[in-house]
Amino acid sequence: MTRTVTDVICPFCGTLCDDLEVVVSDDEKDLLEVYNACAIGAEKFLHSQAKDRITRPRMRQEDGSWKEISYDEAIEYTARMLTDAKKPLMYGWSSTNCEAQAVGSEIGEIVGAIMDNTATVCHGTSLIAVQDIGIPSCTLGEVKNRADRILFWGCNPAHAHPRHMSRYSIFPRGFFTGKGHTGRKVIVVDPRPTDTASLADVHLQVEQGRDYELLDALRVAFKGEKLPDFVAGIPKEKIYEAAETLKSGRFAIIFFGMGVTQSLGKNHNIDEAIAVTRDLNEYTKAAIMPMRGHYNVTGSGQVWGWLFGFPYAVDLSRGFARYNPGETTANDLLRRDEVDAVFVLGSDPGAHFPFSSVKKIYDRPSVAIDPHETPTTEVCKVHVPVAFVGVEVGGCAYRMDNVPIETRKVVEPPEGMMTDEEFLGRVLARVKEIKGV
């Protein structure tokens, strides 16, 4: 006999779909099928069932090979590494639950760590822009129920957030949007002809790196002022038309992604995009939302917000929290040799940081806490495999619109495996012993 678990939350992307159905074996040890998920989400669940999964911590030997160690040894190594270091970096925190993030934050406080999450290479620039100008936003249900103008800027949900368009943005029929996608106008701004762009009513193929100019041009167009014949490669007629489309809607929403946050202009692009949204509120109702990547990167920003007051790049090394992106951000610290130990949990900087940063991780005492084998575990001295959050243990996660949802446990982890929260709790206790607090 099998059992179907309903209302399962997908621990992959910031869309945080919560309508998955998962078929598990009678003894709740095996996960057999996943329904309703996108291809990526389904793979995340099924991957946890890999028979060759690493289930015990490992330490790198002198000759480069791995030696299995106990969790106790891994806890001791981690606690010693963090307490011995003058300025350890504790990075990641995006693919785990808020409970683990809170415990990790207390460890960071005691050892004087620098806490940074994946926003540092993702939407950190958006967070800076919000500190400049604020952000008029809404929950995804407002989009579903009201929005009739959808603008995707520098993002490609068709590939990165596959169910976003059907659950929230383009296709769903909501309370005031009974016609579904036929009642909505969709604009995509992207230098590439993406699969998302192929669904759009209008694709503005902006010249690469010229997003700021096009955003600025929209603000000019809202006011009916004069534009040059072309801005960012787009003829002015198309810009006026797009501006009119947005203004004439009842409810406009802008979704944006890496294409604007990490390209030329960075946080200034987002400043301008938010200014566009503010301007639109003079004419109609408008909101803007970052397409957050990891399923709980938003949550780590929230947890640090209420504990420290800053959403990322939090430097606790002086005994109190400081925040100065560019100085207290992970890559800048690594490349300037300012951190002397690296702890990674719930992220894969080995795959996503510049090689110059990854080499620095390799050169230092380092621990990676991750259910998978990743490029990061390959460069770290100790790898601690843990249970999958959202599959083998529950806990809170925040969707891209900051809505908190409690993820579910659907199967048992392999016998004897620890969760992030348990492992961190043990490290915290050991750190307190060593520090005498």
Partner 1 sequence: MAEYLIKNGFVFDPVLGIRGDQADIAIKDGKIVETNAITNPKVIDAAGKTVMAGGVDIHAHVAGPKVNVGRNFRPEDKLFGYKPRNGIERMQGGFSVPTTIRTGYNYARMGYTTVMEAAMPPLYARHTHEEMRDTPILDQGAYPVFGNNWFVLEYLKNHEIENTAAYIAWLLRATKGYAVKVVNPGGTEAWAWGLNCENVHDPVPYFDITPAQIVTGLIEANEYLGLPHSMHVHANNLGNPGNYTTTLDTFKLSEGIKPKSKFGRDQVMHHTHVQFHSYGGDSWANVDSRAREIMDYVNSHDNITIDMGQVTLDETTTMTADGPFEHHLTELNHLKWANADVELETGSGVVPYVYSPNIKVCAIQWAIGLELALLAKDSSRIFLTTDHPNAGPFIRYPRVMKWLMSEEAREQQFDAFKHKDKVIEATNLAGIGRELDLYEIAQMTRAGPAKSLGLAHMYGGLAPGLEADVAVYDFNPNEPYAPDDIEKAFSNAEHLFKTGVQVVRDHEIASNGNKRTLWVNAKVNENPQVMRDVKEKFLRYYTVTLNNYEVTGHYLPNPYVIEVDATQ
Residue 197 or 396 with smaller CB distance to partner 1: 396
We find the least distance from the C-beta atom of residue 323 to partner 1, in angstroms, to be: 5
Cβ at position 130, least distance to partner 1 in Å: 5
Smallest distance, partner 1 to C-beta of residue 144, A: 6
Give whichever of 191 and 293 is closer to partner 1, judged by the CB atom: 293
- In the complex with partner 1, the residue whose CB is nearer, 49 or 139, is 139
Q: For partner 1, which is the closer residue by CB, 202 or 434?
A: 434
State the minimum distance, in angstroms, from the CB of residue 127 to partner 1.
7
Comparing CB distances to partner 1, the nearer of 135 and 382 is: 135
Choice between 254 and 368, CB closer to partner 1: 254
Strand 114-117 relative to strand 88-92: parallel, antiparallel, unpaired? parallel
Reference 389, options 408, 374, 404, 375; nearest CA is 408
Q: How far is the CB of 31 from partner 1 (least distance, A)?
A: 19
Complete edge-to-edge strand list for the sheet that includes strand 31-35 = 2-8, 20-25, 31-35
Least distance to partner 1, CB of residue 321, Å? 6
**Residue with smaller CB distance to partner 1, 208 or 284:** 284
| Residue 133 φ then ψ, to 5° | -130, -5
Which residue, among 98, 92, 31, 45, has the nearest Cα to 405 in the 3D structure?
A: 98
Q: Residue 299 Cβ, how far from partner 1 at the closest point, in Å?
A: 9
CA-wise closest residue to 60 among 310, 331, 373, 291? 373
Name the minimum Å distance from CB 200 to partner 1: 22
Give 389's DSSP letter: B
Q: How far is the CB of 391 from partner 1 (least distance, A)?
A: 16
Give the tokens for residue 345: 């949990």
Of 71 and 304, nearer to partner 1 (C-beta) is 304
Task: Please give the backbone phi and psi of residue 251, each rounded to the nearest 5 degrees, phi first.
Answer: -155, 115
The distance of closest approach from Cβ of residue 55 to partner 1 in the complex, given in angstroms and rounded to an integer, is 26
Question: Which residue from 159, 151, 349, 357 is spatially nearest to 260, judged by alpha carbons?
Answer: 151
Give the C-alpha separation, 73 to 61, whole Å: 14
Distance CA 107, CA 96 (A): 16
Q: For residue 429, what is the enclosing H or E element? A: helix 420-435
3-state secondary structure of 208: coil
- Helix axis angle, 297-307 to 98-111, nearest 10°: 50
Instruction: Give the binding site for partner 1 (CB under 8 A).
Output: 6-7, 9, 18-19, 98, 102, 106, 109-110, 127, 130-142, 144-146, 167-168, 174-176, 250-251, 278, 281, 284-285, 287, 301-303, 305-311, 316, 318-323, 396, 398, 401-406
Which of 278, 214, 280, 218 shows the shortest CA–CA distance to 252?
A: 280
DSSP characters over 22-50: EEEETTS--EEEEES--HHHHHHHHHTT-
**Shortest distance in whole angstroms from residue 126 CB to partner 1:** 11
Token pair of 288, please? 């803007």
Nearer to partner 1, 202 or 403 (CB): 403
Q: How far apart are CA 314 and CA 124, in angstroms?
A: 12
- The C-alpha atoms of residue 28 and residue 2 are separated, in whole angstroms, by 9
Phi, psi dihedral angles at 323 (to 5 degrees): -145, 115
Neighbours of 35 (CB within 10 A): 13
CB closer to partner 1 out of 396 and 418: 396
Whether the CB-CB separation of 168 and 150 falls below 8 Å is answered with no
Query: Minimum distance between the CB of residue 61 and partner 1, rounded to whole angstroms?
Result: 37
Which of residues 327 and 373 has its CB atom nearest to partner 1 in the complex? 327
Longest dimension (CA), the chain: 69
- Between 251 and 256, whose beta carbon lies closer to partner 1? 251
